[in-house]
Amino acid sequence: MPISPVLERQSTYPFVRLNEAAARVEASGVTVLDFGMGDPRESTDPLIREALVDGLRDRMGYPAAVGLPELRQAIASWAGHRFGVALDPATEIVPTLGSKEAIFSFAQIAVDLERGKDTVAYTEPGYPVYERGALFAHARPLALPLYEQHGFLPDLDAIDAATWSRLAVFWVNYPNNPTCAVAPIGFYERLAELAREHDFVLASDEAYTELWFEEPPASALQLDDRTNVAVFNTLSKRSSMTGYRSGFVAGDPDIVAALKAFRPTVGTAPQEFVQRASVVAWGDESHVERTRALYARKRALFLDLFERKDLRVAGSEATMYLWLAVPAGQTSEGFAERLLEHGILVAPGSYLGAAGEGYFRLALVPSEEECARAVEILEEVL
């Protein structure tokens, strides 16, 4: 059968490789504690689960791509409380099936090869879906490295005029997976100005805005002028709802209108019972506060260990991860392999992009008890 050459050229999704390595170690009799992938393992709040069950009807027809008005209203109210912005639920918000599908397909609505708008920029190390979405849309992917000495922000001054003019989408992701860095509002302001000047979309993936430790991070939704700006958020991490698949895109009404035109073809509206559960999830902050407190306790356990062991923490400001420098003279992969032999699965920074070499990522997803066990093991290994 014919297969898309883009698909054939794809390397294995990094986490598939990671899970294969863990399975090999488990087969040899070692219990593996999985700090690899960022999939929360906490139970979803009972109120949200009840709303899902209550949302089940005798007959569930096709969900409309624009989503339930109640859900768009709940998202607008949440954004109002959290970021102090007034979003119009009718024109500035569209619900998505989690963020991943919306991130993947976004290049298809923004890239215009005929007009020379052929480039999708994104930062690395990072979430692999920006690049993959660009490739499947036959766009030119442009990876911008994130360096510690630059606060893990991309160096906008290093981009030349010809590149700016070819840009269709510029992806940013703060709080950042994997570096845990947070972007100041001034960064979004500058990039949004560039987006208007060179006519590209500033696409801000904000999956982790709710997982913070000291100060709530800013959002590109707070920009006074959201022309050419699209913000992606999700209940996956905020409300431990990865399996529900519920998120949204909000921002420039022209972008939202384009999404509303595109999405019915793809059939990517969340099931209505998921949308009803999502109304409850966006409307409640107490479960999010409990989630933050839990991650803060796990984070404190590891920060304390790494300080004692002199292992440098390069990022820990927000998200559910810790970004750590591997000891001098070792590679990311070599160090992660060594930890895996002792039953601790982490993501080598190099799996997440070339600039991730020299680091590893620890996802704080195992239970507190498992984290305590991992600390005991690392106490011996490090």
Ligand X SMILES: Cc1ncc(COP(=O)(O)O)c(C=O)c1O
Q: What is the DSSP string of 310-330?
A: T--EEE-SBSSEEEEEPPTT-
Residue 324's DSSP bridge partners are: 313, 360
- For residue 219, state whether it binds ligand X (rule: CB under 6 A): no
- For residue 269, state whether it binds ligand X (rule: CB under 6 A): no
Pattern 197-216, binding to ligand X, x per CB under 6 A? --------x-x---------
- For residue 353, state whether it binds ligand X (rule: CB under 6 A): no
Q: Rule CB under 6 A: choose which of 123, 234, 291, 316 binds ligand X.
A: 234
Pattern 139-178, binding to ligand X, x per CB under 6 A? ----------------------------------x---x-
Distances from the Cα of 28 to the Cα of 121, 325, 339, angstroms? 42, 28, 15
- For residue 278, state whether it binds ligand X (rule: CB under 6 A): no
Q: Report the residue number, 63 or 133, with the smaller CB distance to ligand X.
A: 133
Q: How far is the CB of 49 from ligand X (least distance, A)?
A: 17
Q: Rule CB under 6 A: choose which of 78, 106, 127, 282 binds ligand X.
A: 127
Number of residues forming the site for ligand X (CB under 6 A): 13
The alpha-helical segments, DSSP class H, found in the chain are 5-9, 14-27, 46-54, 69-83, 100-110, 129-136, 161-166, 185-198, 235-238, 253-266, 272-282, 286-308, 332-341, 368-381
CB-CB contact of 248 with 94 (8 Å): yes
Q: How far is the CB of 364 from ligand X (least distance, A)?
A: 13
Q: Report the residue number, 164 or 233, with the smaller CB distance to ligand X.
A: 233
Q: Please give the Cα distance from 44 to 370 (Å, whole number).
A: 19
- For residue 71, state whether it binds ligand X (rule: CB under 6 A): no
- For residue 98, state whether it binds ligand X (rule: CB under 6 A): yes
- For residue 270, state whether it binds ligand X (rule: CB under 6 A): no
Which residue stretch of 93-101, 185-193, 346-354, 366-374 sits at the interface with ligand X (rule: CB under 6 A)?
A: 93-101
Burial class (CB in 10 A: 0-12, 13-18, 19+), 214: exposed
- For residue 247, state whether it binds ligand X (rule: CB under 6 A): yes
Q: How far is the CB of 246 from ligand X (least distance, A)?
A: 8
Q: Report the residue number, 343 or 366, with the smaller CB distance to ligand X.
A: 366
Residue partners of 24: CB distance under 8 A and separation at least 6: none
- For residue 236, state whether it binds ligand X (rule: CB under 6 A): yes
Q: How far is the CB of 5 from ligand X (least distance, A)?
A: 26
Question: How many other CB atoms are found less than 10 A from the CB of residue 71?
Answer: 24
193-205 exposure pattern, b = at least 16 Cβ within 10 A, e = fewer:
ebbeebebbbbbb
Q: Please give the Cα distance from 4 to 123 (Å, whole number).
A: 25
- For residue 38, state whether it binds ligand X (rule: CB under 6 A): yes
CB-CB contact of 163 with 135 (8 Å): no
- For residue 317, state whether it binds ligand X (rule: CB under 6 A): no
- For residue 268, state whether it binds ligand X (rule: CB under 6 A): no
Angle between helices 100-110 and 129-136 (to 10 degrees): 40
Q: How far is the CB of 58 from ligand X (least distance, A)?
A: 29
Contact footprint for ligand X (CB under 6 A): 38, 98-100, 127, 173, 177, 205, 207, 234, 236, 242, 247
